[in-house]
Chain A
């Protein structure tokens, strides 16, 4: 195995098997790091906890729900307003968060009564919201509060309310990934099949593993609706609690983030026989292929094809404008879980950049398999990276840009590497054809930022061009570009609006006639 040993990690030998550098002719059989093992204490890992994996990542994007965490306020406060999963109901889930505020006396005497008071108070404060999720935390897991029993009691006493309980304390697993698993299984066990949805199309899907970061879900749902497909539910971005109770009636589960939500898809297949189709909203080709696959499944390929043609005609010249200016730029692709493989191949193919490193904080070996196989030679793959390894890798690889989280982004900034937020995006959405151009635009703006170039100058040593009062990005990016590309009339910069999502909410869609009233085109 071509393991990569970091200088800074020589003193913790077990780290050696967590990084590989892909060499000539190597494939997964010889080049795969270990993954999803317990974190080494004190290594300054970037991992979060199983509570945040459940509540913060998957639970909270559900939009019409009171999200209560049963514990001291910190868990709630810390995971509140740190994401950009918007919704079409004025972002209720971003604005409101609830904590039972467990104090010392509750630790000693139990906090079940406190929990019940909290539930009642919350429903009273928001009388129009009848749905609730409750998340266990470390403290209440350890004292052994029976949250399920309290939830059951309230549902009986307050008809019309419905409560979901997720027991995923912070310590339950090596990372946030443990929480993803727990909430997937809890949801299908407790809620799927408890409400019969209204079926309005012959083609019905659940859109799974999609969190509506900056509007991703709304962009993708727009394509589905244009194909005449009913999106029964989204798990969970911009998703509705009651819609998700009816997941069992879909004909197909369309799965986006296989890291965080394949569990529920696999259970839906097992229990209800609903097939799983993995798709990819990032990148023109992966997205076009995804829409084609869905079209093929339902026998409506021509609807998919029409959308693909229209969108590509509209956006390809803009994507290519950026591709010409991003060619050969070195990228560190350091997201949380699945984006390492969602993006690796697509950005190389469609934006011309070179991925020099991938890492994953909470991915499993399966994610690394996909990621490593989609990278070129010389790419450094790191599992559960830590602060010092990250800095050493940046020093060694000297990337032009890094895609990572907010906090590691600040670290990269200090070593003069511009960053894009891989979790929340800079100016997304990044899914969809237009979104992919927005991503390219953001990469271009980061790499060719005049301010970034200025930060590399040492005025005490370097020559200063005193006659220059400014520099445009084009002056930087077009230096050395062939004349025909610089002056191309085919290619153009991004022409969309700052907000590319809100208008979709007002859109109307064509009615497609159904096969025959009362029957369904797809056999169950």
Chain B
């Protein structure tokens, strides 16, 4: 009975779990108000990322491309950034922030984006847009480094680094959520409200679940403002919920402005939510109110209904964003389930020293593998050719065929989820998220029992 943490034993990728860095930076960009990211590279780097966002959220978001063509690839394409910034500013009067997000092509040809920004700041912005507040931020996200996860991490840090301005203490904490859904942000804000904690939430994406108004004027935008970002330097603490998505910004604020940072835990499950509230309490001195004691108890009541009768012993494979995967695995263990395979889709060397994974290595009493730099073949090959038996898969839609073709029930969780309706609306964090997750898993198993006629009669009495 061992838990091994190892790297995928092939060099290539068969069905990738993650996309590349610029997508992460673009996700950060759409969370900021009056901001349109300009991706410096080929048009596909934007067109497909906008598409996947629209597939997941069923909304359209604004992102621009510098539209690198052949001449630019040969002779350099800094001019296209200059033109792109001008066109964006001229046509979008509300835009104040333009992150310039690099890609593999423009990093390889070595376009000096930081230099272009200096040039624009001294030239175009002074000459043509003198009366306007404009911020150009260089974000270096070559696709051949890291993944969408590190792209997100880098971009959050770069936004914070650009704007954070110490003035007066604002009496708030910074809460960096990581790559989450509108439902998560709503649930987190609810916990903050119950705790009576005022927080700058990075990023305010609850608005991504936007309405279809009779006058037809609602387009989805993130709600984090420039002032929110500026005042991150005036908080009395930062909580970054995820170690790999947003922690860089928290650490930077700590180093630069001595703002204490707490990294993690990802508040998935009862125990991690308890820890999150404990951290809030420590940081703010505010007590955990009876309302949350009750909310927690409602969740535990629901979990008790499903855990040892149905979820216990169930073998589960989990893939996706690292903090999400680890948080889900921890929660599954509390639910008496057996995570047997965790797949982390990039080669971040820090995974193998992640204390949460090391704790699993130390303590799990069943065979378990954690594969880094993993792809979907690591899952499928084990099922088809190596005898891995699974009761459940947790992960995003790109892995749907592994579940479908091998008749394994699956609960959709993470980004992107496009093959189930409305999943972005529900949280996986907090007590509410714990309940939702456990019940989704139970219901997926129930449906599967009925389809396969596998003790389906057991539900006659429950």
Chain A positions near chain B (C-beta within 8 angstroms): 8-9, 11-12, 38-52, 68, 71-82, 94-104, 106-107, 114, 117-118, 121-122, 125, 137-139, 141-143, 169-176, 387-388, 405-408, 410-411, 413-416, 455-458, 462
CA of A142 to CA of B76, assembled, Å: 12
CA of A179 to CA of B389, assembled, Å: 43
CA of A102 to CA of B103, assembled, Å: 13
> How many A-B pairs fall under 8 Å by CB?
251
- Pick 6 A–B contacts, CB within 8 A, sort by A: A48-B43, A74-B21, A74-B23, A82-B52, A107-B108, A139-B104
Q: Which residue of A lies closest to B98 (CB)?
A: A42
> Known contacts A42-B83, A138-B104: does B216 contact A73 (CB below 8 Å)?
no
The residues of A that contact B103 with a CB separation of less than 8 Å are 138
Within 8 A of A (CB), among B393-425: 397-398, 401, 405
User: Closest approach, in angstroms, between the C-beta of A363 and any C-beta of chain B?
Assistant: 15
CA of A170 to CA of B426, assembled, Å: 36
Q: Is the CB of A118 within 8 A of B11?
A: yes
User: Closest approach, in angstroms, between the C-beta of B453 and any C-beta of chain A?
Assistant: 25
The residues of B that contact A97 with a CB separation of less than 8 Å are 14-16
Instruction: Type the 1/0 row for B36-53, where 1 means its CB is closer than 8 Å to any CB of A.
Output: 101001111101111110
Q: Which residue of A lies closest to B89 (CB)?
A: A42
Q: Is the CB of B44 within 8 A of A42?
A: no
Q: Is B304 an interface residue (CB 8 A)?
A: no
The residues of B that contact A118 with a CB separation of less than 8 Å are 11-12
Chain B positions near chain A (C-beta within 8 angstroms): 10-16, 18-23, 36, 38, 41-45, 47-52, 54-55, 58-60, 62-70, 72-73, 80-81, 83-88, 90-92, 103-105, 108-109, 142-145, 147-148, 210, 212, 214-220, 347, 377, 381, 397-398, 401, 405
The residues of B that contact A455 with a CB separation of less than 8 Å are 212, 214
> Known contacts A78-B44, A104-B145: does B215 contact A171 (CB below 8 Å)?
no
Q: Which of B12, B66, B144, B214 contacts A104 (CB 8 A)?
A: B144
Q: Which residue of B lies closest to A141 (CB)?
A: B73
Given A98-B14, A99-B13, A171-B68, 20 more A-B residue pairs with CB atoms under 8 Å apart are A39-B43, A41-B66, A45-B67, A47-B67, A48-B43, A49-B45, A68-B12, A72-B20, A73-B147, A74-B104, A97-B14, A98-B13, A99-B12, A101-B11, A106-B144, A114-B12, A414-B212, A414-B217, A414-B218, A455-B212
Q: Which of A43, A82, A102 contacts B144 (CB 8 A)?
A: A102
> Known contacts A38-B69, A118-B12: does B91 contact A71 (CB below 8 Å)?
no
The residues of A that contact B144 with a CB separation of less than 8 Å are 72, 102-104, 106-107, 139
The residues of A that contact B147 with a CB separation of less than 8 Å are 73
Q: Is the CB of B91 within 8 A of A11?
A: yes
The residues of B that contact A107 with a CB separation of less than 8 Å are 104, 108, 144
CA of A77 to CA of B214, assembled, Å: 37
Q: Which of A74, A101, A171, A405 contacts B22 (CB 8 A)?
A: A74
Q: Is the CB of B13 within 8 A of A101?
A: yes
CA of A75 to CA of B18, assembled, Å: 11
Q: Is the CB of A100 within 8 A of B13?
A: yes
Q: Is the CB of A42 within 8 A of B54?
A: no
The residues of B that contact A82 with a CB separation of less than 8 Å are 48, 51-52, 55
